[in-house]
Structure 1
Amino acid sequence: MAAQSAREGVCDPPPRPEQPGKPGGYISKLRELVKHEAEKNKSQWKTMGPAKVAVPSPKDFLQKRSKEPKLAPKKKEQDGKRLLPLLPPRTYHPVVHIKKNFINKNAVAVITREPKKPRHFCVDTRQGDKYLLEPSGLFPKYIKKRNYGVLPKYVTRRNEEMKREEEEYQASVLEQLKKKAMKTLSEEERTNILKALKRNWEEINHEYQRLPVLTDTRYKRMHKEELELKLKQLEHDIAAIEKHKSIYIADV
């Protein structure tokens, strides 16, 4: 026990000295006021229903056009005197002091220039709906131009180019037709061709007459048919040349 008490006395730390107390924290000056306001509005809704407020008067109702902006009231004549100055007479001419600066120059130009002409309108409904007459196409302003009815230069130039191209095309077509035109055989050439055809017909006919009577082989039959076709074609050509006096030959 003595040893245990001695061990405990060795392990326990010595007691700390007491420190002096710290000063208090920040305290707002409005603390009491906040507390008072909170207590004042604390039990507003503890009764049945909301707090009683003043009911609006039935005479104070929203009237028609009450929220539209209103113009300022006109000033009335005071003691029978006009607030606006009298108009000057027709014979009055303002005295203009001309100075060499652009302000007076512009003022003189504005005073002495002609007034603007009224714009033409077209009214198409009984409610008075109108629109400008010039852009509508109803105002005849184009016929008053100096060049009205005159063909523009670019149109005449284009027509001339088209006419020239058409003439060149027609000339090229005629040239091609002349190149492809058929030639006419002369009487001498026609007679020579007719004689040559008759000579060929006589030769083939002589060969045809020399054929054997019996055609028992395939070659004999084919040779006979070939000679008959040649004779038939020559007879057709001779008849066509003898029938037509003028013969045309096309270039192939």
Structure 2
Amino acid sequence: MADYAYQQESVYNLIPKEEVHIQKAPRYMSKYRPTVVLEKKSSKDPMRTMGPAKVEVPSPEKYLKKHSHESRLAEKAAQATKDLRNTVKNPAVPARGDIPPMGYTTNRDFVKTATAVPMKPKPTCVDTSKGHKQLLENSGLLPKYIKKANYGEVPEYLHKRNEEERMMQEAYDNYVREQRELGAIQYLSDEERRAVLEGLKRNWDQLHHEYQGISLVIDTMSKKFQKDRLEVAMKQLENSINLFERFKTIYIANN
């Protein structure tokens, strides 16, 4: 009704329209249906309420006996045990007056076995609350290393390294002595070394004062170049100062 009320007014809407009936396809029917219906009626319909018409009456002699439905596993196990006992039979216990067998020997020393000291348990330590334990010897709690024969001695590789260093120092000293005898090198005295060291530090102070005066904002290439130049020069002076402070004897070449 709502659709009809809001339709656009037209003369053609006043003409009644014929109803179109859709023809449905006929329902599928199997050709075996009559055979199935006949088979069902002939086999199931006569006893669908009270069962088959004629049933064989059970004989009074075939009544349900006790334990007839129980499993026979226990009976089979008992029979297997009985058969095993019949096949493997232990020798009888000798009587009190029987003569023991002669010539029987054994390698076991019963005297030693009777007097043997029982094995003592290995000492262990428990290291967790859940009961985990390990041998006390491997736990690091026993001072077993101080009981070694070579405890406290210098290892062999250290002797070898010290000997190599001593030989290298001797070779260097011989080379320096030969060069000094030839007049190719000379060494600075303590006064000269201190004077050079003070001059290096004075130069570093001047470069550092100049470095502190650089602008904080490096916004031009000239400022960046000046900053890099001062840093490189200060680094070289620092290396030279460390060299003169580290070594007391300084050799220089004459040429």
Q: What is the TM-score when the length of structure 2 is the normalising length?
A: 0.29
User: Could you say which structure has the higher helix fraction?
Assistant: 2
Greater Rg, structure 1 or structure 2? Answer: 1
User: Which TM-score applies when normalising by structure 1?
Assistant: 0.30
